[in-house]
Amino acid sequence: MVTIEFTPKSIEDINNTAEYTALQSPHFAQKFVKSIFKEVEILKTFPNIGSVVPEIVEQEIREIFY
C-alpha cells in the first residue's frame, strides 16, 4: 500500500503560491491546489513514476515536480 505524505515545506509552498495566485484569480488559485493533489494521487497507482529524492536516496520515497 502506498502512503502519500507532504512535507511541511511543500504544504507551505502550495499555500504561498495559492495565496499569491488568488490575488489575481481566486478561481485559478483553487484550481491550482486541486490539480496538485490530484496529480500526486497518481502515485497510489503508479508509485515508481516519481523521481527518487536525491537528498534521501531511498527507492520508496518519490517526488513529482509540478
Domain locations in the chain?
A: 8-63
Q: What is the pTM of this model?
A: 0.75
Q: What is the predicted pLDDT for the residue at 38?
A: 93
Mean pLDDT by 10 residues, the chain (66 residues): 88 96 97 93 86 87 84
The CA distance from 62 to 35, in Å, is 18
pLDDT of residue 33: 96
SS3 (DSSP) at 52 = strand
